[in-house]
Structure 1
Amino acid sequence: MNHVLIDGPDHAEHTFIFAHGAGAGMEHDFMEDVAKRIAANGVRVVRFNFPYMVKRTEDGKKRPPDRAPKLLEAFEAVIENYASKNTVIGGKSMGGRMASHLSASPAIKGIACLGFPFHPPGKPEKDKGEHLASLTIPTLILQGERDTFGNRSELETYPLSDSVTLTFIPDGDHSFKPRKASGHTESENRQLAAENIVAFIQKVCA
């Protein structure tokens, strides 16, 4: 299968299949940096492009994301081809939301979402996370405290299943970038995210 990037050891004990967000593909700086930080802990990280992003890389034309059924079909194909005995799936924003709809896949042990898009910015009434209340598979959501797609104050009372762990990234926006005055750095927040994901993978695959 083309349009896949793999970091980490080929025969790693754990695999993380990592999907990109709506606006940028698998080679985006955030995706590459976080993947390499996770892989540095001995996890095999598999990145891939959804079909619309494959087309964009071929002709340079921006397109909106494919509809959910096509995105999920592409995600399932990657799971089928790259899952190992101990596999967690997840993604950035839209990629994480798609992963959360694949909880019934028998090949996976858990789901890790980075910046879950609970709603479009400024439109909290357009909720996209209702299904998180009924998830039964271990799920980690890493959310920037200032994320415009769902911030800390909005989410502290949000109905989540007992299987879902919500962890906030200090002063982070949708990509975990903090304000300079916060005393935190983007690199520190990305490292914190990677460490949380590695610990989660090790826990659910134990």
Structure 2
Amino acid sequence: MSSLDASSSSSATPIADGPAEASCLLLLAHGAGQGPASPFMQTVAGAVAASGVRVIRFAFPYMVRSEQESRRRPPDREPVLTEAFLAQIARHRGDAERLFIGGKSLGGRIASLLADEAGVAGLVCLGYPFHPPGRPQRLRVQHLADLRTPTLICQGERDPFGRLGEVEGYPLSPAIRLAWIPDGEHSFKPRKASGRTWEENLQLAAREVARFLEV
């Protein structure tokens, strides 16, 4: 682990886990409400990095400002988010033989919009927001039907942004593989009655990601 490790407290500073000399690099963006150092991001990134992958988490501009101003801010508009992600891709393009991109919820959606254009090795989405909660008619899947980049979507079975019974009927590209997280909601947390723990589900998601990255 480099000096840009999980103990870094500034969202303006990317957080890196895993060996710097790794042949595979996964560039991850955060979700709408929590930054790159959230427990979800930290646990999954750390577990994937333990398999020998270099994982770098970065913050979108609005999250950096939110931390600097000590107040919650709404996400930037889509063009700003896309530009910020593309800048990170350009920055890390030569850091490893294979570059994968992705993120949690919002971060994964933005990555999915530019994956084909960016020419990356693959895409990882952790809890994809297929539709707003309670509004399944407002689908965000049109571009996913024609996606060419090899893609893994880890999705909680109870995710209000796209449950198991809903997503199975969506017109998704054959390049997309779905990994269902048992009884998980949007952050993969299961109900106590399921007999599973959040840690177990996060570790399962990390194993699915590592398997997808072929490490």
Task: Give the shorter-chain TM-score range.
Answer: over 0.9
> Runs of 4+ in structure 1 displaced over 2 angstroms?
104-107
2:183 aligned with 1:171, yes or no?
A: yes
Distance between the aligned counterparts of 2:55 and 2:209, measured in 1? 11
The one-character-per-residue Cα deviations of 1:61-98 (angstroms, maximum 9, x if unpaired) are 21110011100110111111123220110000000000
Distance between the aligned counterparts of 2:63 and 2:134, measured in 1? 26
Q: Aligned residues, how many? A: 202
CA contact (8 A) 2:101 2:115 kept: no
2:98 aligned with 1:86, yes or no?
A: yes
Q: TM-score, normalised by structure 2?
A: 0.91
Q: For residues 103-118 of structure 1, what are the structure 2 equivalents within 5 Å?
A: 103-118=115-130
2:28 aligned with 1:42, yes or no?
A: no
Which secondary structure state, in structure 2, belongs to the residue aligned with residue 80 of structure 1?
helix
User: Offset of 1:104 from its aligned partner?
Assistant: 2.3
Match of 1:102 in 2: 114
Look up the equivalent residue of 1:129 and give its one-letter code. Answer: V
Look up the equivalent residue of 2:126 and give its one-letter code. Answer: L
Larger deviation, residues 65-74 vs 98-107:
98-107
Superposed CA RMSD:
1.1
Distance between the aligned counterparts of 1:180 and 1:139, measured in 2? 30
2:60 aligned with 1:60, yes or no?
A: no
Look up the equivalent residue of 1:164 and give its one-letter code. Answer: I
Q: TM-score, normalised by structure 1?
A: 0.95
Distance between the aligned counterparts of 1:51 and 1:193, measured in 2? 27
Match of 1:21 in 2: 31
User: Offset of 1:167 from its aligned partner?
Assistant: 1.5
Look up the equivalent residue of 1:42 and give its one-letter code. Answer: G
Distance between the aligned counterparts of 1:146 and 1:3, measured in 2? 33
2:135 aligned with 1:123, yes or no?
A: yes
Percent of matched pairs sharing the same residue? 52
User: Offset of 1:16 from its aligned partner?
Assistant: 0.4
Change in 2 beyond 3 A, CA 1:112/1:67: same
Look up the equivalent residue of 2:44 and give its one-letter code. Answer: V
Change in 2 beyond 3 A, CA 1:112/1:53: same
Look up the equivalent residue of 1:34 and give its one-letter code. Answer: V
CA contact (8 A) 1:99 1:111 kept: yes
Distance between the aligned counterparts of 2:118 and 2:76, measured in 1? 25
CA contact (8 A) 1:79 1:107 kept: no
Aligned mate of 1:74, from 66, 84, 99:
84
Larger deviation, residues 76-85 vs 56-65:
76-85
CA contact (8 A) 1:16 1:46 kept: yes
Look up the equivalent residue of 2:138 and give its one-letter code. Answer: K
Match of 1:202 in 2: 214
User: Offset of 1:125 from its aligned partner?
Assistant: 1.0
User: Offset of 1:106 from its aligned partner?
Assistant: 4.4
Which secondary structure state, in structure 2, belongs to the residue aligned with residue 102 of structure 1?
helix
Distance between the aligned counterparts of 2:51 and 2:84, measured in 1? 27
Which secondary structure state, in structure 2, belongs to the residue aligned with residue 137 of structure 1?
coil
Unaligned runs of 5+ in 2: 1-11
The one-character-per-residue Cα deviations of 1:132-159 (angstroms, maximum 9, x if unpaired) are 1110110111100000000001111111
